[in-house]
Chain A
Amino acid sequence: MNEALRQLPPLLASHVLLAAAALGLALLIGLPLALASARRPRLAAIALGLAGLVQTIPGLALLALFYPLLLALSALLDGRVPALGFLPALLALTLYALLPILRNVIAGLQGIDPAVLQAADAVGMTPRQRLRLVEAPLAAPVAMAGVRTAAVWTIGAATLATTVGYPSLGNPIFAGLQIERWDLVLSGCIAAAVLALATDGLLGLIERGIGQRKRRLTYTGIALLILGLLLACLPLLRAAERTVTIGAKNFSEQYILARLIGGRLEKAGYHVAYREGLGSAVAFRALQSGDIDVYVEYSGTLWAGTMARTDTPSRRAMLNDIARWMAAGPKTVLLGPLGFENAYALAVRPNSGVADIAALAAKAPTLTLGADLEFLDRPEWRAIRDAYGLKFKATRAYSPTFMYRALQSGQADAISAFSSDGRIAADHLTVLADPKGAMPHYDAILLAAPGRARDQRFLGALRPLVNRISVEDMRAANYSVDRDLDKQTPEAAARWLESMLRHRSTPPPDLP
Chain B
Amino acid sequence: MSTEGLPALAYEQASRRYAGVSAVDYVSLKIERGSFVALVGPSGSGKSTLLRLANRLDTPDTGRVLVDGKDVAHADPIQLRRGIGYVFQNIGLFPHLSVAENIGIIPRLAGREPVDIGAALARVGLSPDLAGRLPGQLSGGQQQRVGIARALAGEGKLLLMDEPFGALDPVTRDTLGKTVRRLHDELGLTTILVTHDMAEALLLADRIIVMNQGKIVADASPRELLSGQAGPEANALVAVPREQAERLAALLQ
Contacts and interface: CB of A to CB of B under 8 A. Distances in A.
A binds B: yes
Interface in A456-485: none
Contacts of A129: 109
Contacts of A122: 55, 57, 81, 86, 88, 92
A194 interface: no
B81 A123 contact: yes
A134 B94 contact: yes
B96 A138 contact: yes
B91 to A, nearest CB: 7
Interface in A115-135: 115-116, 118-126, 129, 133-134
Interface string A202-229: 0000000000010000000000000000
A217 to B, nearest CB: 15
Contacts of B82: 123-124
A119 B88 CA distance: 8
Nearest to A112: B95
Interface in A76-125: 113, 115-116, 118-125
A134 B78 CA distance: 16
Interface in B66-81: 77-81
B90 interface: yes
Nearest to B106: A123
Contact of B95 (A116, A121, A124, A125): A116
Given A118-B57, A129-B109, A123 B86 contact: yes
Chain A interface size, as a band, is: 10 to 19
A118 B83 CA distance: 16
Nearest to B135: A116
B35 to A, nearest CB: 22
A9 interface: no
Interface residues of B, number: 25
A125 B154 CA distance: 13
A352 B82 CA distance: 101
A115 B164 CA distance: 13
Contacts of A137: 96
A119 B96 contact: no
A120 B96 contact: no
Given A123-B154, A124-B79, A124-B82, A118 B92 contact: yes
Nearest to B147: A119
B88 A115 contact: yes
Contact of A126 (B55, B78, B88, B91): B78
Q: Give the one of B82, B91, B96, B105 with max A CB within 10 A.
A: B96
B75 to A, nearest CB: 11
Given A118-B57, A119-B88, A129-B109, A124 B78 contact: yes
A344 to B, nearest CB: 70
Given A115-B90, A126-B78, A213-B96, 4 more contacts: A124-B77, A124-B78, A124-B81, A138-B95
Q: Which 5 A-B pairs have the closest CB atoms?
A: A119-B92, A124-B82, A124-B81, A115-B90, A122-B86
Interface of A: 113, 115-116, 118-126, 129, 133-134, 137-138, 213
6 contacts: A116-B94, A119-B88, A119-B94, A122-B86, A124-B106, A125-B78
